Amino acid sequence: MFAIRSRNDSQLRRALRNLGGSFGGSDIRRRRRRHYYRMVRWKLTTGAKSKIRRLADLTVAALLLSVLSPLLLVLWAGGVQKELCRGRWAKPFWRYQFSSRAPVLCRSLPMLFNVLRGDMSFVGPRALLREELPASDPAAWKRYDLRPGLLSLSWLRKQANIAYTGEVGIDVEYIETTTLRGDLGIVLRSIPAMLFRGNSAEAQEELKLLGVRIDNPTMHEASQRIVSLAEAGEPGQVCFVNADCFNIAASDTLYRRTLAAADMVLADGIGVRLAASAFGQKIRENINGTDMLPYLCETLQSSGKSIYLLGGKQGVAEDVVAWMRGRVPTLRVAGLQHGYFSSNEEPGVLEAVRMAQPAVLLVAFGAPKQEKWIAAHKRELGPAVAIGVGGLLDFYSGRVARAPLWMRELGLEWMFRFLQEPGRMWRRYFVGNAMFLFRVARERMFGTALALDGRPGSIS
């Protein structure tokens, strides 16, 4: 008994000594010194990066002004406009640009003087006009932490039709992750975006391309519309169409009729965007199932509605549900089912979906099989909005890698998919894209395309 008490007393004294050491004067001073050195190191690193960035801006701006001075003198005679903008720390400055009579690619050249003066940087958040002060949201004011840029990440993503989180969200993302290497990447990716920038036509709510009606919402509007369809309590169908889908629709009458009868048809891919641009029309945003899923899940979660996953190999849907649990933990998953069921098992699958009563059903069989299957069994599935999502489940289960964001900003996601599976994708992307462009050119020149009955017909 005495030995146990002695041992306990010894442990207690040791703990008290350690506690006293942790909060003793010398230990507190040591921790304060460590904290001070960390703060000094952070300030020196941040200051050095800021000065290097400013030196790079100054050097490149001076070099470009010297090289382009003859062109600047010629264009200057046409007139220069100035706008009062807010710079770093919301400090006002005059931003210069050439008048609308100058070529589009040259109008921003006078802003090089703004860069030289330190009003702007080559890359940064978009310069806001003085009357365009952001809302009371602290995230919006964070844009003033850096100098505004001639180029911005938000502009780049708008050109690629993938600015889903809005300008403020993208600018804040840039501010929190900015590096000199990242800025160089934005500059390089902006060059083709400037050369092949889309038309400035006003986007219509709906357009028709190669005989197919296309709805033209933003990503957020599309997600809200799907939930509204689910709230109506009637079976619904949503389709995504890319260049390959248009090629299939050219020879598949049933698929064309399915697209025509769908509640919503959404444009997916750079090919559809370029085709619309050829007819003087504008696609608001590139809306595909893979990018839509996070927004749709958040909308369903906030409205208390459920989702059902149908398709993929065994285990794929389970992995997607695990992803959902991490991203939207309170989203109700009504059920899941792999896509490798026989015709004899199909009635049981239909009954399981109907009994689960999901608001949204994701069907991943691949186009056009998934769209035809949904159209054939829409009434048997119950009052769910069924969406054909292709390979979405493979992406979110981690079985197939998604193209990096910089490739999507350049519209090169198709190239990434080809490099992943060249043996399967070469015909779709090289032969198929050529056929799609041929059909676009034919309609552009002759004003005809296949109507829903498969015969040539005028396209409005």
Q: In the chain, how long is the greatest CA-to-CA distance? A: 105
Is residue 44 scored above 70 in pLDDT?
Answer: no
Q: Which residue has the tokens 């600015």?
A: 163
- Does residue 167 share a domain with residue 96? yes
- Quick check: is 384 in a domain? yes
Residue that terminates a domain, selected from 161, 195, 229: 195
- DSSP characters for 26-62? HHHHHHHHHHHHHHHHHHHHHHHHHHHHHHHHHHHHH
- Quick check: is 29 in a domain? no
Which residues partner with 86 through β-bridges?
92, 128
Number of structural domains (the chain) is: 2
- Does residue 337 share a domain with residue 188? no
- Quick check: is 36 in a domain? no
The pLDDT tens digits of the residues spanning 21-39 come to 555 566 677 777 777 777 7
- Does residue 185 share a domain with residue 268? no
What is the C-alpha separation between 162 and 292, in angstroms, rounded? 11
- Quick check: is 321 in a domain? yes
Residues 327-331, mean pLDDT to the nearest whole number: 95
Residue that terminates a domain, selected from 173, 195, 217: 195
Q: Given the DSSP bridges, would you call strands 385-388 and 236-241 parallel, antiparallel or unpaired?
A: parallel
453 pLDDT band (50/70/90 cuts)? very low
The pLDDT tens digits of the residues spanning 386-404 come to 999 999 999 999 999 999 9
- Does residue 331 share a domain with residue 246? yes
- Does residue 285 share a domain with residue 239? yes
- DSSP characters for 362-390? EEES-TTHHHHHHHHHTTTT-S-EEEE-T
- Does residue 345 share a domain with residue 233? yes
The mean of the pLDDT values for the chain is: 88
Per-residue pLDDT at 130: 80
- Quick check: is 65 in a domain? yes
- Quick check: is 12 in a domain? no
- Does residue 211 share a domain with residue 182? no
Please tell me the least confidently modeled range out of 140-144, 229-233, 248-252, 401-405.
140-144
- Does residue 242 share a domain with residue 148? no
Residue that terminates a domain, selected from 162, 195, 228: 195
What is the C-alpha separation between 451 and 457, in angstroms, rounded? 5
Could you tell me what percent of the chain has a pLDDT over 90?
68
- Quick check: is 374 in a domain? yes
The dihedral through the CA atoms of 54, 60, 62, 64 has a sign that is negative
Which residues partner with 411 through β-bridges?
none
Could you tell me what percent of the chain has a pLDDT over 70?
87
What is the C-alpha separation between 305 and 359, in angstroms, rounded? 6
Better pLDDT: 379 or 8: 379
- DSSP characters for 306-368? EEEEEESSTTHHHHHHHHHHHHSTT-EEEEEE-S---TTTHHHHHHHHHHH--SEEEEES-TT
- Does residue 267 share a domain with residue 126? no
- Does residue 225 share a domain with residue 100? no
Range of the domain at 56: 45-195
Residues 63-71, mean pLDDT to the nearest whole number: 93
- Does residue 215 share a domain with residue 183? no
- Quick check: is 11 in a domain? no
- Does residue 121 share a domain with residue 224? no
Tell which residue, 217, 246, 228, 261, has the closest CA to residue 374: 261
Per-residue pLDDT at 428: 93
Asked whether the whole model's pTM tops 0.75, one would answer yes
Q: 298-311 b/e with 16+ CB inside 10 Å = b?
A: ebbbeeebbbbbbb
